[in-house]
Amino acid sequence: MRRADRLFRIVEYLKARREAVTAKELGEELEVGVRTIYRDIADLRASGVPLSGEAGVGYLLSSDYVVRPLLFDGEELDALALGAQMVQSWADPAMAQAARRALDRITAVLPDSLGDNIRQTTAYSYPSPGKPALQIDFTSLRRAIRTRHVVEFCYIDRPGSETTRRVRPLSLIFLAPNWLVAAWCELRQDFRHFRLDRMQDMKVLDQGFENETGKTLDDMRKQSEA
């Protein structure tokens, strides 16, 4: 990676994160040593990039800083094209359409030579006959996660037992060929994962929810790591 590209990638990486990032994490991401990151941070600061933090603690980039656009390389375009195809193959129709729009928008602003990379990609994802059928509205569930609304549904577990669940949906997880929703379950008073193809009669309730200590996505991740 050219040094200029590495400097831009540091800024891009920090811009996408709200918490301090250590030089070790940056070095692992960019496959360079910590000393190289220290020199790059010093050069970025000297050029006026508003970085705060220090060695051993981590670095933050001001949220007001605007990252100038940079063209994608061939590998990145292949990844974007394949990712969009996978979304179209495995997600709900609304998200599939959004993926197509996003890819069209990217292709429209690329030079012809790079736009051809997307149009003539050699990596493909096709719908699978093993894709489980869903009896719930996938789009409504996605939006309930974004708007933080409680959902209620009938759940059928592996042995075939049915229970009514009321949950705070936190995230969607794709473990091919199945989609799962990670949630805080009011019945179990704990985090649970539910397969979407085992959910029936789902309703998005008017009841909203706020982040509450012990019941957030971050809390679930920490519990899993522990």
Cβ pair 23, 60 in contact under 8 A = no
Tens digit of pLDDT per residue, the chain (226 long)? 778 888 888 988 898 888 899 999 999 999 999 999 999 999 999 988 899 988 888 999 987 776 665 567 778 888 888 898 899 889 999 999 998 888 877 776 676 666 666 667 767 777 777 889 999 999 999 999 999 999 999 999 999 999 999 999 999 999 989 999 999 999 999 999 999 999 999 999 999 999 999 999 999 999 988 7
Architecture of domain 3-61: Orthogonal Bundle (1.10)
State residue 105's pLDDT score: 77
Of the candidates 99, 97, 22, the one whose C-alpha atom is nearest the C-alpha of residue 55 is 22
Work out the number of other CB atoms within 10 angstroms of the CB of residue 40: 21
For strand 199-208 and strand 149-156, is the pairing parallel, antiparallel, or unpaired? antiparallel
Which residue has tokens 């489980």? 132
Q: Give the residue from 2, 12, 70, 14 showing the smallest Cα distance to 23.
A: 14
Write the single-letter amino acid at 62. S
For 138-225, give the CATH class: mainly beta
Q: Where are the domains of the chain?
A: 3-61, 74-119, 138-225
Instruction: Report pLDDT for 128.
Output: 76
Looking at residue 215, the DSSP 8-state letter turns out to be S
Residue 13 backbone class (left: φ over 0; alpha: ψ -120 to 50; beta: rest): alpha
